Amino acid sequence: MAPPPQFQRSSSPSPSQPSGKSEISDLKLQLRQLAGSRAPGADDAKRELFKKVISHMTVGVDVSSLFSEMVMCSATSDIVLKKMCYLYVGNYAKGNPDLALLTINFLQRDCRDEDPMIRGLALRSLCSLRVTNLVEYLVGPLGSGLKDPNAYVRTVAAMGVLKLYHISASACVDADFPSMLKRLMLNDPDSQVVANCLSSLQEIWSAEANTSEEAAREREALLSKPLVYHLLNRIKEFNEWAQCLILDLISNYIPSDNDEIFDIMNLLEDRLQHANGAVVLGTIKVFLHLTLSMADVHQQVYERIKAPLLTLMSSGSPEQSYAVLSHLHLLVMRAPVLFSSDYKHFYCQYSEPSYVKKLKLEMLTAIANESNTFEIVTELCEYAANVDVSIAREAIRAVGKIALQQFDVNAIVDRLLQFLEMEKDYVTAETLVLVKDLLRKYPQWSHDCIAVVGNISSKNVQEPKAKSALIWMLGEYSQDMPEAPYILENLVDNWDDEHSSEVRLHLLTAVMKCFFKRPPETQNALGAALAAGLADFRQDVHDRALFYYRLLQYDESTAERVVNPPKQAVSVFADTQSSELKDRIFDEFNSLSVIYQKPSYMFTGKEHRGLTDISEELGNLSVEAHPAAEALPAQIYEANDVDLLLSTSEKEEVRGPVNNSSAYRAPDYDSTTAALVSSQVPLEADLSIPGLPAYNPQVSSAIDDLLGLGLSVAPTPAPPPLALNPKAALDPGSFQRKWSQLAISSSQEFCIEPRAVVALATPQTLLRHMQGHHIQCIASGGQPPSFKFFFYAQRAGQPPSFFLVECLVNSSSARAQVKIKADDGAAAGDFSALFQAALSKFGE
Amino acid sequence: MPVAASAIYFLNLRGDVLINRLYRDDVGGNMVDAFRMHIMQTKELGTCPVRQIGGCSFFYMRISNVYLVIVVSSNANVACAFKFVVEAVALFKSYFGGQFDEDSIRNNFVLIYELLDEIMDFGYPQNLSPEILKLYITQEGVRSPFSSKPTDKPVPNATLQVTGAVGWRREGLVYKKNEVFLDIVESVNLLMSSKGSVLRCDVTGKILMKCFLSGMPDLKLGLNDKVGLEKESQLKSRPAKSGKTIELDDVTFHQCVNLTRFNSEKTVSFVPPDGEFELMKYRITEGVNLPFRVLPTIKELGRTRMEVNVKVKSVFGAKMFALGVVVKVPVPKQTAKTSFQVTSGRAKYNAALNCIVWKIRKFPGQTESTMSAEVELISTMAEKKSSTKPPIQMEFQVPMFTASGLRVRFLKVWEKSGYNTVEWVRYITKAGSYEIRC
């Protein structure tokens, strides 16, 4: 199926071949002979000739030289001939405006023909000529076309207006066509005419709205109650495509009260049973958007749309399933419980294309919970042996992701270790990366994992990511692996064979860590590694080596604290999109945004974006969209790379100087952090920038932007007066100060109980509830479905230390996002558990 | 904005444009080159049906040896675009006599242009209903010589108006003999684990109809589905008859079905289009009767020999039989020699598919059949045997059997002239994706 190196450019008219030339002059001659002929059978002969001409045209032979003959021959009443002639003219008019002028005459005449079909065809051809200097000839026929007694002609005319608008906007507006379309849309008995008017008006007014206020008003008027009701009541008369158009319009309509919402939903309920999946999806969009403000109804909608969505996914072509699955994925991110009992629907079939399988794997990952994890992981393990390597990799990653979601970790670790025993390069590679991430989150498993990992020969691991993971583990757990220093030494000896700078960086760090644990055994390797690193031509590697070298020179124990500090287990990996981005995509449900997983402004528009760096774009975007003052975190999202959990010894090093501020100079810190950070983007969001006294806020925000993290700097402005618990008191000013100084010590996202969602109808109850748990609220705000609260609490006893909490609650997806900052980072974990427990009791 | 397609291209497998239609000027003419360069010539092909190149998005689908590509520059409705392509292909097929490939496209340029102009205007889908298009299309499809001759072409007559209320049916149809054909076609999907437990199993069914009825008939269809039966007994205030009732997970209907009435009375009533159409589709996950049980045993005898035993049992009624049964048993790539014994049908080793294909033309109900094969492998350098084992796949058709148990209880035809109709009802169950892991 490999295409040949050079394609024939058959699409564009190419100079005709010499052999074709004689054929064309032949055709020309024959057409001339037939042009005036009234003989019986002449029309049939002409038809054959016309067909030949059009075949030539299609395969790319330039037959434009026949223009005048074709036009002459088309002076006929035979509709078949006319159609072919229109086709021919439409193809060549744009390139030959002078010739096009020749055709105006007969097209205009045909627009007045008594047969409505000819009128319609002629009008369509006339509008499709796309020649600017012929615009004046269009206005007349279009005007009469809009008033034509025949619906077919009006349908064509309604679209013709839009075509005219694209050729010459001013001519279209000057002729007052938009208002004619509007009248037609409201009064025409034919549904297709109405639909075409609507499409045209939507486009025209959207384009005009930028320059004209009136057009902007008119565009708003398309969403006015009378029009929406007019269309809704007739929706069954429209064909399926027009229904999609109308449903899309209605999804933007804002009803005035709840009764209206229910009326619309009742009216559209049966659309969910329509055979056309596009209509079903359109209806689902309307339902979801209408009920956004009503959490409980929104949940019911999810239940209602489940069955139709599953049907859509399993019927139709793989391409359609793909489109539906993308939407399912979006929905399941908002409401993970939705499909958790239907997980079997997402089992892959052997013959399905990989793009469907990939999405199904993502679905399985997203819906895994306590009750179904075992079955899902069992199924995923089947795929790890799949023929398609990329699917096998995805499956392994999915297993790892589920493990990180905290369900049934025990069993999953066993399975991951079994993967390592399969002894397939790609399986081993993927698994190593996962085991590394697992260990960062669940250090308690180190014993089991290390035993298995220790048996893997580094020679069998080639992929940089996997190799880095292996090296990281060697460094991190060198005390448990007797062979670690020698394996590392061996790797250092082969420094030049290793071409990835990622691996070299990891190797440097691992050797350092190993050195602190087992100095005599590692000393040689360390020396060799530092020497190799200093000689490295890669700036990152060189700088890192130099940095370590100087650290060691300065003070060995400081160096250890920097390179190998005691670590906290990672609670949440930053592999999620910002909630704002997600909401925007949800707003554009049933469109390409969902497929690309980014809002439309990022991929439409004039400037032609390259295919490549999506992540780069996103990175820039998050800097633009979230100035440092904004409290929302913007996290880097990378569309295709599921595995965002980056290799990360840097992180720990950055985190190193916690509790260690005095021995450390801020300028050093700044420059090294910046260097390290620049070496590897993206980093994780749980990266904790230590609260150094000499910490410079400007630097911090610069780093934030660099990372695309936008660590919260200021809470919501003007906090309301606070009710203080005698046990803890903090004024808004100090809160604000503390908030901007401290780093996030814990960040979590979890589900909240449905009853809590119900109770959130009055957010004040949450404040009182938390007060009961000695957690004070300092500021709160937000509109349903998303609320934001800032809490604080103070530890009783000595030394007094504050905990600050930012809590985002989304009542429609029933999720809460909690970020905790603490004076004493070590206690943050306990406090987080306390806070979560308090929140989970809410609504009881 | 539902689709607003800027252009539609038909490409062959080499990437040559067979035919194209540019609806809008907002994409450059070189878009198809971009598609060839970034998708067709790379490994991208087939990895994702939606791709963004430059400022444009490409939706593509392969149908036999043709790529159908839609180019859009806006944030289009993907589901709508794919549905449009699927419907358009079905339409082309109906004109080309069931064929849709490079040859049939090359033979029908003018017709395709005509159709493309009618079904989409300036990128917006218009009308794809064959019944209405008959009024506007002048060309006759060139059919392959093997397909049946088309019926008489109706005289194009645009003045014949189709009313909005029944857009799918023309007035004034007359048939000498009024007949209705109804087929329930089910495809049963199964995924069975190597331990013999059912991992996943469901039925997707559709009801296909062919109507040759005069005038404007009203049809009413009754099935033995649970909701419908309960509603009926409720209305007639008598207890539901005992017997098997079927729970439909989800149903979708052709646009001709009166959905308001379906939701209130739970009966399927409709004014059918003329000729062939798909009345409804449904999905069932509970209480599926699997027509076949497959029991594989695979033994490895040393490094170069394998023994494969597959037993297939038919578990439908003894009076029925399955047709065209095919069992594909995967064997390793390095298979050198195979020998078989089968109790019925014929088995063959297919090296291209890496499997043993066992075909049984007619498989009676309540019987079983076995195949035992011995496979010799080339000894390879690789120490590990490949652990990728594709599942056993099965194909079959069982006439007069429905895996869901769905039955037509009645099909009533009512027309104001009161003619008599002949109704024909058939059932058939096919294998969808019937996979048994081993």
Query: DSSP letter string over A732-763?
Result: HHHHHHHHHHSPEEEEEEEE--HHHHHHTTSH
Q: Summarize the confidence of residues B405-428 as an average pLDDT.
A: 90
Same domain, residue pair B133 and B58: yes
Mean pLDDT lowest for which of A477-481, A749-753, B123-127?
A749-753
What is the distance between the alpha carbons of residues A548 and A544, in angstroms, rounded to a whole number? Answer: 6
Tokens at B380, concatenated: 């390879």
Q: Summarize the confidence of residues B212-219 as an average pLDDT.
A: 90
**What pLDDT, on a 0 to 100 scale, did the predictor assign at position A322?**
92
Q: Summarize the confidence of residues B14-40 as an average pLDDT.
A: 82
What is the distance between the alpha carbons of residues A158 and B158, in angstroms, rounded to a whole number? Answer: 18
Picking from B17, B29, B78, the nearest residue to A10 by CB comes out as B17
pLDDT grade for B393, boundaries at 50, 70 and 90: very high
Tens digit of each residue's pLDDT (9 = 90 or more) over A610-668: 333 333 333 333 333 333 333 333 333 333 333 333 333 333 333 333 333 333 333 33
Question: A315, B204: Cβ pair inside 8 Å?
Answer: yes
- H helical segments located in A626-716: 649-655, 666-679, 697-707
Q: Summarize the confidence of residues A114-130 as an average pLDDT.
A: 87
Within a domain: residue B425? yes
Within a domain: residue A506? yes
What is the distance between the alpha carbons of residues A679 and A677, in angstroms, rounded to a whole number? Answer: 5
pLDDT grade for B167, boundaries at 50, 70 and 90: low
DSSP, residue by residue, A355-366: HHHHHHHHHHHH
CATH code: domain of residue B189: 2.60.40.1170
Please give the residue range of the domain that contains residue A470.
457-567
Tokens at B161, concatenated: 């108006």
pLDDT grade for B190, boundaries at 50, 70 and 90: very high
Question: A273, B262: Cβ pair inside 8 Å?
Answer: yes
Q: Which amino acid is at B401?
A: F
Instruction: Look at residue A671 and tell me whether its pLDDT is greater than 60.
Output: no
Within a domain: residue A523? yes
Same domain, residue pair B189 and B317: no
Share of chain A above pLDDT 70, in %: 80
Beta-bridge partner residues of B349: B356
Question: What are the start-end ranges of the E strands in A725-814?
Answer: 744-751, 776-783, 786-794, 802-810
Helix (H) or strand (E) holding B356: strand B355-364
CATH code: domain of residue B80: 3.30.450.60
**What pLDDT, on a 0 to 100 scale, did the predictor assign at position B165?**
47
Mean pLDDT lowest for which of A15-29, A348-362, B182-196, B280-294?
A15-29
Tokens at B314, concatenated: 């038919």
B159 closest CA partner among B140, B137, B138, B135: B135
- Domain count across chain A: 2
What is the distance between the alpha carbons of residues B190 and B435, in angstroms, rounded to a whole number? Answer: 6
Within a domain: residue B31? yes
Question: A604, B74: Cβ pair inside 8 Å?
Answer: yes
Question: B75, A318: Cβ pair inside 8 Å?
Answer: no
Tokens at A769, concatenated: 């509830």
Mutate: best of A244, A246, A360, A389, partner B, most B CBs <10 A: A244
Tens digit of each residue's pLDDT (9 = 90 or more) over A218-229: 888 888 888 999
Tens digit of each residue's pLDDT (9 = 90 or more) over A808-828: 877 777 778 888 888 777 777
Same domain, residue pair B416 and B371: no
**What pLDDT, on a 0 to 100 scale, did the predictor assign at position A399?**
86
Same domain, residue pair B203 and B125: no
Same domain, residue pair B281 and B307: no
Instruction: Look at residue A134 and tell me whether its pLDDT is greater than 50.
Output: yes
Q: What share of chain A is helix, strand, coil (3-state, %, to 5)?
A: 65, 5, 30
Same domain, residue pair B302 and B427: no
Within a domain: residue A209? no
**End of a domain among A520, A546, A567?**
A567
**What pLDDT, on a 0 to 100 scale, did the predictor assign at position B209?**
92
Mean pLDDT lowest for which of A48-52, A740-744, B193-197, B309-313?
A740-744
Question: A87, B250: Cβ pair inside 8 Å?
Answer: no
CATH code: domain of residue A796: 3.30.310.10
What is the distance between the alpha carbons of residues A708 and A739, in angstroms, rounded to a whole number? Answer: 19
Mutate: best of B87, B112, B124, B386, partner A, most A CBs <10 A: B124
Within a domain: residue B201? yes
Within a domain: residue A779? yes
Instruction: Look at residue A604 and tell me whether its pLDDT is greater than 80.
Output: no
B19 closest CA partner among B154, B111, B98, B148: B111
Triad A640, A643, A644: Cα angle to 5°: 95
Within a domain: residue A766? yes
Picking from A248, A324, A423, the nearest residue to B384 by CB comes out as A423
Interface residue A834 vs chain B (CB under 8 A):
no
**End of a domain among A541, A567, A593?**
A567
Same domain, residue pair B322 and B395: yes
What is the distance between the alpha carbons of residues A218 and A283, in angstroms, rounded to a whole number? Answer: 25
Picking from A1, A308, A590, the nearest residue to B79 by CB comes out as A590
Chain B residues in contact with A244 by the CB 8 A cut-off are 2, 77, 80
> In this structure, are residues A340 and A372 in contact, taking their beta carbons and an 8 Å threshold?
yes
Share of chain B above pLDDT 70, in %: 88
Interface residue A163 vs chain B (CB under 8 A):
yes
Question: B388, A324: Cβ pair inside 8 Å?
Answer: no
> In this structure, are residues B303 and B277 in contact, taking their beta carbons and an 8 Å threshold?
no
A835 closest CA partner among A718, A748, A743: A748
> In this structure, are residues B226 and B245 in contact, taking their beta carbons and an 8 Å threshold?
yes
Within a domain: residue B368? yes
pLDDT grade for A679, boundaries at 50, 70 and 90: very low
pLDDT grade for A799, boundaries at 50, 70 and 90: low
Please give the residue range of the domain that contains residue B225.
179-288+404-433
A605 or A200, greater pLDDT: A200
Q: Summarize the confidence of residues A428-453 as an average pLDDT.
A: 82
Within a domain: residue A325? no
Within a domain: residue B22? yes
Residue A762: how many CB atoms within 10 A of its CB? 9
B317 to chain A, closest Cα gap in Å: 28
Same domain, residue pair B189 and B282: yes
Same domain, residue pair B19 and B110: yes
- Domain count across chain B: 3
Tens digit of each residue's pLDDT (9 = 90 or more) over A53-72: 888 888 888 888 888 788 77
pLDDT grade for A589, boundaries at 50, 70 and 90: confident
Tens digit of each residue's pLDDT (9 = 90 or more) over B329-355: 988 888 888 898 999 999 999 988 889
**What pLDDT, on a 0 to 100 scale, did the predictor assign at position A392?**
86
Same domain, residue pair B365 and B411: no
User: Is the predicted ipTM greater than 0.85, yes or no?
Assistant: no
Mutate: best of B127, B250, B267, partner A, most A CBs <10 A: B250
Q: Summarize the confidence of residues B80-96 as an average pLDDT.
A: 89
pTM beyond 0.95, yes or no: no
> In this structure, are residues B393 and B434 in contact, taking their beta carbons and an 8 Å threshold?
yes
**What pLDDT, on a 0 to 100 scale, did the predictor assign at position B370?**
93
What is the distance between the alpha carbons of residues A381 and A431, in angstroms, rounded to a whole number? Answer: 12
**What pLDDT, on a 0 to 100 scale, did the predictor assign at position B360?**
94
Within a domain: residue A558? yes
Can you count the helices (H) and strands (E) in chain B?
7, 23
Per-chain mean pLDDT for chain A:
76
Within a domain: residue B336? yes
**What pLDDT, on a 0 to 100 scale, did the predictor assign at position B291?**
93
pLDDT grade for A457, boundaries at 50, 70 and 90: confident
Same domain, residue pair B134 and B25: yes
Q: Summarize the confidence of residues B58-87 as an average pLDDT.
A: 89
**What pLDDT, on a 0 to 100 scale, did the predictor assign at position A792?**
82
Within a domain: residue A508? yes
Picking from B13, B40, B110, the nearest residue to A54 by CB comes out as B110
Same domain, residue pair B244 and B333: no
